[in-house]
Amino acid sequence: MATLEIRDLHVTVDTEDGAKEILRGVDLTVRSGETHAIMGPNGSGKSTLAYSIAGHPKYTVTSGSVTLDGVDVLAMSVDERARAGLFLAMQYPVEVPGVSVTNFLRTAKTAIDGEAPKLRTWVKDVNASLDKLEMDRSFAQRNVNEGFSGGEKKRHEIVQLELLDPTFAILDETDSGLDIDALKVVSTGVNRFHDRGDKGVLLITHYTRILRYITPDFVHVFVAGRIAEQGGSELAERLEAEGYDRYVKAAAAS
């Protein structure tokens, strides 16, 4: 069983007024086979947590630790984190002009595995994954995310997830901008990944609607750079009814 462990994580970001602390002591443990939902209002630090784990240079870890099976993740480069089994699906996937989807995916798979997949097998795998995400196979020849709709970009993120086969998937607001049909397709893809049995999922979201299709083992309420409360899937139902207001007020008072 693989374990991603975050301990007392403090993170700052540079602003015009100097360094601003975003994460203020985050403790979280995600094990393979578990799905964790991080929920909270805008500006609470959810995305900062995701990008800090992945190694985005915009964010500076000032103290605390992130380990994967006891190995220091923060000492790894971004590509080393990917090879170690970490995957980030971005809230706003970027376009990569001049690079086709199939070449992008094959290059990434080669970097992670240390050898290139056989071309004939790879084409079949890419097409099968596109079929599962209800994307036309012609997307394989298009430039990465160029001209894709918001929903197509998010489906492509799950295609990457399936083909790159990491140990831990960090999904940063994968549900944002999806209509109900795309939400179901993307959620099914996430569940299919999780059901391989040895995979951990850290799902970051504002809303409970994706949790109608992906059942979390643990829900964490994120406010003001900290985890304010945690529980099971029933906590998400309570948040749907009550919102985040009482957590925000409590954080402001403290």
Mean pLDDT of 15-39: 95
Q: In this prediction, what percent of the chain has a pLDDT beyond 90?
A: 89
Residue 22 has pLDDT above 90, yes or no: yes
Instruction: Return the CATH number of 3-97+167-253, one of 3.40.50.300, 2.40.128.110, 3.30.2270.10, 3.10.290.10.
Output: 3.40.50.300
Nearest residue to 53 (alpha-carbon basis) of 25, 34, 72: 72
Query: 177 falls in which pLDDT band (50, 70, 90)?
Result: confident
The encoded tokens of residue 71 equal 């190995």
In the prediction, which pLDDT does 182 show?
A: 93
In the prediction, which pLDDT does 1 show?
A: 86
Measured distance CA(137)–CA(149) in Å, rounded: 16
In the prediction, which pLDDT does 18 show?
A: 87
Q: Could you please report the per-residue DSSP string of 142-209?
A: SEETTT--HHHHHHHHHHHHHHH--SEEEEESTTTT--HHHHHHHHHHHHHHHTTTT-EEEEEES-SG
Residue 197 has pLDDT above 90, yes or no: no
Instruction: Say how many C-beta atoms besides its own lie within 10 A of residue 2's C-beta.
Output: 16
Q: In this prediction, what percent of the chain has a pLDDT beyond 70?
A: 100
Which tens digits make up the pLDDT trace of 53-92?
A: 999 999 999 999 999 999 999 999 999 999 999 999 998 8
